[in-house]
Chain A
Amino acid sequence: MGYVAVKGGTEAIEASLDRLKYDRLKGEEIVEIKTILATMRPLVDQVMSEASLYAPFLAALAIKQAGGSMEEAVFLLRAHRSTLPRYYYSETVDTEDMFVERRISASFKDIPGGQLLGSTNDYTHRLLDFNLVNEKKEENQAWLQEFQERMCDDVADKELQFFPKVVDYLREEGLFERYPLDDTPPKDITKQSIQFPTGRSERLQVLTRGQTGAVTSLGYASLRGYGQVHPTIGEVRVGNVPIHVQHPYEEESDPDDLFYIGDVKLTEVESFVPVNVKKQNQKEELEFEIGYGISFGQNETKAIAMSILDQCLENPHGEFPTHDEEFVLLHIDSVESTGFISHLKLPHYVTFQSKLDSARQVKKGGNNK
Chain B
Amino acid sequence: MITKPHFAFFDEGSKKEIRRATLKAVAIPGYQVPFASREMPIARGWGTGGLQLTLSLIGKDDVLKVIDQGADESVNAVSIKKLVRHTTGVSVTEDTGEANIIQSRHRIPEKQLREDQILVLQVPNPEPLRKVEAREYLTKRMHAEDDYSGAWLLLFEQIMKYGRMSTGAEHPVYVNGRYMMTPSPIPRFDNPKMHQSKALILLGAGREKKIFAVPPYTDVKSLAFDDYPFAVESFEGKACKLCGSTDVFLDEIIDPDTGERSYQCNDTSFCMEHLNAKEKEEVENSYV
Instruction: State whether the Cβ of B76 lies closer than 8 Å to any Cβ in chain A.
Output: yes
CA distance A64 to B259 in the complex (A): 47
Which residues in B have their C-beta under 8 angstroms from that of A368?
164-165, 228-229, 231
Contact A83 B169, CB 8 Å, known A348-B69, A350-B70, A362-B164: no
Which residues in B have their C-beta under 8 angstroms from that of A341?
45
Instruction: State whether the Cβ of A143 lies closer than 8 Å to any Cβ in chain B.
Output: no
- The answer to whether A78 and B69 touch across the interface, beta carbons within 8 angstroms, is no
Which residues in B have their C-beta under 8 angstroms from that of A2?
272, 275-276, 279
CA distance A4 to B94 in the complex (A): 11
Q: Which residue of A lies closest to B35 (CB)?
A: A193
Query: Which of A242-250, A292-300, A351-359 interfaces with chain B?
Result: A351-359
Which residues in B have their C-beta under 8 angstroms from that of A189?
36
- The answer to whether A354 and B233 touch across the interface, beta carbons within 8 angstroms, is yes
- The answer to whether B43 and A75 touch across the interface, beta carbons within 8 angstroms, is yes
13 contacts between A and B (CB under 8 A): A2-B275, A5-B265, A6-B73, A13-B79, A83-B10, A85-B11, A86-B13, A189-B36, A196-B140, A326-B135, A347-B69, A353-B251, A369-B229
Interface residues on A, range: 35 or more
Among B43, B77, B249, B268, point to the contact of A350 (Cβ < 8 A): B249
Chain B, residues 76-119, CB within 8 Å of chain A (1/0): the string is: 11110010000000000000000000000111000000000000
Contact A357 B234, CB 8 Å, known A5-B268, A339-B44: yes
Q: Which residue of B lies closest to A192 (CB)?
A: B36
Beyond A9-B78, A340-B124, A354-B189, list 9 extra A-B contacts (CB 8 Å). A4-B268, A13-B82, A193-B35, A195-B140, A343-B43, A346-B46, A355-B168, A357-B233, A366-B163
- CB of B119 to closest CB in A, whole Å: 16
Which residues in A have their C-beta under 8 angstroms from that of B228?
367-369
Among B13, B73, B166, B188, point to the contact of A359 (Cβ < 8 A): B166
CA distance A260 to B134 in the complex (A): 45
CA distance A9 to B106 in the complex (A): 18
- CB of A55 to closest CB in B, whole Å: 11
By Cβ-Cβ distance, the 8 closest A-B pairs, closest first, are: A339-B44, A343-B45, A355-B168, A339-B43, A196-B137, A340-B45, A78-B39, A82-B38
Instruction: State whether the Cβ of B237 lies closer than 8 Å to any Cβ in chain A.
Output: no
- The answer to whether A338 and B43 touch across the interface, beta carbons within 8 angstroms, is yes
Which residues in A have their C-beta under 8 angstroms from that of B242?
3, 5
Contact A326 B78, CB 8 Å, known A83-B10, A336-B207: no
- CB of B234 to closest CB in A, whole Å: 6
Which residues in B have their C-beta under 8 angstroms from that of A7?
73
Which residues in A have their C-beta under 8 angstroms from that of B275?
2-3
Instruction: State whether the Cβ of B17 lies closer than 8 Å to any Cβ in chain A.
Output: yes
Which residues in B have their C-beta under 8 angstroms from that of A78?
39
- The answer to whether B135 and A350 touch across the interface, beta carbons within 8 angstroms, is no
The count of A-to-B residue pairs whose CB atoms sit within 8 angstroms is 190
Chain B, residues 147-175, CB within 8 Å of chain A (1/0): the string is: 00000000000010011111111100000
Instruction: State whether the Cβ of A39 lies closer than 8 Å to any Cβ in chain B.
Output: no
Task: For the complex, count residues of B whose C-beta is within 8 A of A.
Answer: 80
- CB of A333 to closest CB in B, whole Å: 8
- CB of A72 to closest CB in B, whole Å: 10
Which residues in A have their C-beta under 8 angstroms from that of B276?
1-2
Q: Which residue of B lies closest to A359 (CB)?
A: B166
- The answer to whether B164 and A361 touch across the interface, beta carbons within 8 angstroms, is yes
Which residues in B have their C-beta under 8 angstroms from that of A5?
71, 242, 251, 264-265, 268, 271
CA distance A368 to B276 in the complex (A): 37
- The answer to whether B167 and A83 touch across the interface, beta carbons within 8 angstroms, is no
- The answer to whether B124 and A4 touch across the interface, beta carbons within 8 angstroms, is no
- The answer to whether B207 and A340 touch across the interface, beta carbons within 8 angstroms, is yes
- CB of A59 to closest CB in B, whole Å: 14
Q: Which residue of B lies closest to A7 (CB)?
A: B73
- The answer to whether B137 and A354 touch across the interface, beta carbons within 8 angstroms, is no
Contact A83 B43, CB 8 Å, known A193-B35, A340-B207, A354-B169: no
Which residues in B have their C-beta under 8 angstroms from that of A9?
71, 73-75, 77-78
Among B12, B14, B124, B164, point to the contact of A367 (Cβ < 8 A): B164
Which residues in B have their C-beta under 8 angstroms from that of A25?
none
Contact A335 B75, CB 8 Å, known A197-B137, A349-B69, A365-B163: no
- The answer to whether B136 and A336 touch across the interface, beta carbons within 8 angstroms, is no
Instruction: Give chain B interface residues in 220-248, CB to chain A under 8 Å.
Output: 227-229, 231, 233-234, 242
Chain B CB within 10 Å, residue with most, of A5, A7, A81, A330 = A5
CA distance A191 to B20 in the complex (A): 13
Chain A CB within 10 Å, residue with most, of B68, B163, B188 = B163
Among B10, B170, B251, point to the contact of A82 (Cβ < 8 A): B10
